[in-house]
Structure 1
Amino acid sequence: MNWIDIGALDDIPLRGARRVKTTQGCVAVFRTAEDEVFATSASCPHRNGPLDEGIVHGRKITCPLHNWVFSLETGEAQGADEGAIATYAVRVENGRVLLDGTALARASAA
């Protein structure tokens, strides 16, 4: 894996998110109340809602435009909603958030 340092963990508020611009496109990086970090595509597949502006609850994100809910772990839509968002490997090391650039590059090539 090719890990890319995308910033400090403290730059992402608890139960919040940040949009990260990469050469392969934008990624939303989320921090849960339990201090877990997840990375997904930055837009909702329904109407391209900005997921980084959504509501983080548990291990889920709710799109701010039409309340679609997605699992931060799998990217699958929850409930009656259909579809999925891409998820990317992410880890925290020494207070820095690292994103798997190899998987991101693979996704953008598809």
Structure 2
Amino acid sequence: MTGHLIGHLDEIPVGEGRAYAVDGAQVAVYRLRDGTVRALAAVCPHLGGPLADGLADNHVVVCPLHGRAFDLITGRETGGGPGVCAYDATVDADGAIRVAVRSVT
């Protein structure tokens, strides 16, 4: 995949997320326990919560402010509320993380 080089996998602890500026967008990138990375818009649409600081498992991230959960693949809010953009994220063989700024949802 082509995309913006944003950093290295070692910069994100397993099970956590970090926020990056990618081509003018704020993107939260998560390093999941299964070894994959996922990327969503970094700001919760409810009240602007920092989604990179939310609790993530292999399926959802939970906003740290009010507990809204977002699917890490689609960006949809699990309760049916407004979702966030989901982005393609990959890790190169050398551990470099790339994010495509085009939305996948």
Aligned equivalent of 1:14:
14
Aligned length: 103
TM-score (norm 1): 0.86
Segment of structure 1 superposing worse, 18-27 or 46-55: 18-27
Segment of structure 1 superposing worse, 66-75 or 92-101: 92-101
RMSD of the TM alignment (CA)? 1.7
Give the secondary structure class of the aligned counterpart of 1:6: strand
- Map 1:17-96 to 2 at 5 A: 17-78=17-78, 80-94=79-93, 95-96=95-96
Q: CA deviation at 1:11?
A: 0.8
**Aligned partners of 1:58 and 1:92: how far apart in 2?**
16
Gap regions ≥5 residues in structure 1: 105-110
Q: Runs ≥4 in structure 1, deviation > 2 angstroms?
A: none
Q: CA deviation at 1:73?
A: 0.5
TM-score (norm 2): 0.89
Task: Name whichever structure is richer in helix by fraction.
Answer: 1
Alpha-carbon displacement from aligned partner over 1:79-103 (angstroms, at most 9, x marks no partner): x3511110011111121101114x1
The amino acid that maps onto 2:77 is: A
Contact 2:4 2:22 in 1 (8 A): no
Larger Rg: 1
Alpha-carbon displacement from aligned partner over 1:38-81 (angstroms, at most 9, x marks no partner): 11100001111000010012221000000000100011111x35
Gap regions ≥5 residues in structure 2: none
